[in-house]
Amino acid sequence: MSLGTFDPATTRWPGRRGVRPRPLRIRLLRLRPLGLAVALTLVASLVTAPTSSGTPVATARPTPAYKDASLPVEERVADLLARMTLAEKVGQMAQAERGDVAGDPTQVADLFLGSVLSGGGSVPEDNSPAGWADMVDSLQEQALSTRLGIPLLYGVDSVHGHANLNGATVFPHNIGLGATRNVRLVKEIGHITAEETRATGPQWNFAPCVCVARDDRWGRTYESFGEDPELAARMSAIIVGMQGRPDGRDLAEPDRVLATAKHYAGDGLTSFGTGEGDYTIDQGITEVSRRDFRRLALSPYVPAVEKHDVGTVMPSFSSVDWTTDGLGNPLKMHAHDYLINGVLKDELGFEGFVISDWRAIHQIPGDYATQVAASVNAGVDMFMEPFSGDAVGYPQLIETLIQLVEDEVVPMSRIDDAVSRILTAKFELGLFENPYTDRTHLDEVGSKQHRKVARQAVAESQVLLRNKHRTLPLSPRARVYVAGSNADSMGNQAGGWTLTWQGGSTNVFPGSTILDGIEDATKGQVVFSEDASAPVPRKADGIVVVGETPYAEGFGDVGGPQWAWDPGDNGVPRPPKTMQLSDADRAAVETVCAQARSCTVLVVSGRPMEIPADLLSQIDSLVASWLPGSEGDGVADVLFGRKQFTGKLPVTWPRSVDQQPINIGDEDYDPLYPYGFGLTPKKRGR
């Protein structure tokens, strides 16, 4: 699919998950919580009946079963479903984008919308915890004003914390969490993410990504826990932190959210050169045997579904082409009846609902009716069709689904199954009893305790790859010279999906940069010169922080397109993505390593970077720092010995990009550092 033409009038990028921020003004309804809902309930519960004298009197109508919290969820779902019209049912299957309904929130009620989402960077005008809660509640008020009062489900991409929100705790991206190998810690991170997300209104998180990244040229490598399906399966326990105990027993609590296992399945296995549009690998074709597909792509979904009872699953943009059938017949995952209905729902017993990715059904061949029919019959239950107006989106989806049912292309039983799954989640989340935001934990967003956990995760994610002469850990009394493009950039160390879809090289949200952490950890003099142009003090230990600038999805593909639409970029396209250090970073390393007493290089990136042999020979210590998020102090904790290096590589570190794809178990496996490698120095150096 062509990425389309960027339209500055609508500030939309067609076909993409992210939404460019725009200065929308949201009219927040200031009614007291539950005021409208209570009024509607009172009206609905009164009917007039004549007395013996013929005078009408008010009598109580029995409470509908679906409103009775004492009844089993299955009974409540069945009762509500029986009361719904076809239009009300298919409305529940539609999801709109916040920016599209903000100008006319009555669409939520008029179309009986089941869900609204915030794409990357789509935030309320007041991007504060209370501002988010007010925004979600204003849309919820619209949903509750409908005949049946079915509450709205609001979804966000809290992929490394609730990072759309300025001031939230931003954790390391999954690639760093994979390096920790710490399942208990990952569960705690999931719980904190859920607490900060739900406290501000959204009850649904489009995370975690349990993909297995097998080619680091992929722009979503950092969203993966690593290249080993067993590691991804273990780390899927983050779902427990988000949702609580299986069977939805904790979902109604104010510190839990509905989780999403994504992207089902094989998105990390796509072949380079098959990417959609001008992407080189993202959304491409997974060319694999059925056996290897189960071993590599499906493995993490087994515990996600069978053990952790994940609430929703999101299919991948990618296609599958079975090598055993002869290549040349790729089928988009969103239309894959065998893998969604057959494997996910029937074989694995998935009882939640399947949510499409951002306009993903538009990549299915055929006209819109064909695309909708293929995906809904394959098992997609809710459709992320974010826009209205000129773009084909949620209004057209609703119209098309109604017509397909009337034409008997889609059976009513399929609609009822999809809506039952969606309603089950809403009942388990307690939204029929407590539809508005429970602000109990609002003050915990970005709290000191939450940041302490993030700092621990950063420290445990650091992987020491080289430590010549036992350079690390450094003494806190050392004189330190710091250089490099990523030393003092909160945006670079946080990566994509931070405040905006693509992220940005800014310092606009709270936290500590790596430089801040170094300055806090040392009692000696710290000199910072980003380009290493300042003189290096005598007997100074050098630290050079290099790596990548932020990106997301296909805009991070090696050789892929250049992003140029974040406001902070001022219309200047970002550099093409490679796995090589920039000329400026390489020059900084060479300068510092030639002059400092010792030379430590930190690589802040979402994947391994190529470190040529001639450059590596100049480096005393090399650290993979990944994308640590808001707590740069955690990096300093291991550099200066407050905590030990314990991280292990979640992916193979190649000698050069020409070795890609390279994974543990390959024939002729000869990386620079193998999967699972990581040094742990026992004693402090100088």
What are the residue numbers of the active site?
357, 553
Q: What are phi and psi of 118, to 5 degrees?
A: -105, 115
- Those residues whose C-beta lies under 8 Å from the C-beta of residue 62, and which sit 6 or more positions away, are none
CA 185/CA 450 separation, integer angstroms? 12
Scan for tokens 């709270």, then name that residue: 510
Per the document, the length of the chain is 686
187: which residues sit within 8 A by CB, 6+ positions away? 237, 238, 240, 241
Contact 640, 521 (CB under 8 A): yes
- In the block, residue with structure tokens 């991409």: 157
Contacts from 657-660 at CB under 8 Å and sequence distance 24+? 657/217, 657/558, 657/578, 657/579, 657/580, 657/610, 660/215, 660/216, 660/217, 660/272, 660/579
d(CA 436, CA 427): 14
- Pairwise CA distance, residues 341 & 347, whole Å: 8
Give backbone dihedrals phi and psi of 44, rounded to 5 degrees, phi first: -70, -25
Peptide bond into 263 cis (omega under 30): yes
Helices 368-378 and 412-428 pack at an angle, to 10 degrees, of: 60
Give φ, ψ of 639 to 5 degrees: -60, -35
The amino acid that residue 159 corresponds to is V
DSSP, collapsed to helix, strand or coil, labels residue 221 as helix
- Quickly count helices (H) and strands (E) in the chain: 22, 19
Tokens for 65, please give them. Answer: 């079963």
The 10 Å Cβ neighbour count of residue 612 is 12
Q: Which helix (H) or strand (E) holds 190?
A: helix 183-198
- Which residue, 212, 259, 262, is CA-closest to 238? 259
Q: At 270, is the secondary structure helix, strand, or coil?
A: coil
Distance between CA atoms of 175 and 661, rounded to whole angstroms?
17
How many C-beta atoms lie closer than 10 Å to residue 568's C-beta?
Answer: 14
What's the CA gap between 509 and 495, in Å, rounded? Answer: 13
CA 495 to CA 468: how far, in whole Å? 29
Cα 264 off chain centre by: 14
| Nearest in space to 233 (alpha carbons), one of 219, 205, 264, 212 | 212
Three-class SS of 642-673: CCCCCCCCCCCECCCHHHCCCCCCCCCCCCCE
Euclidean distance between CA atoms 24 and 589, whole angstroms: 44
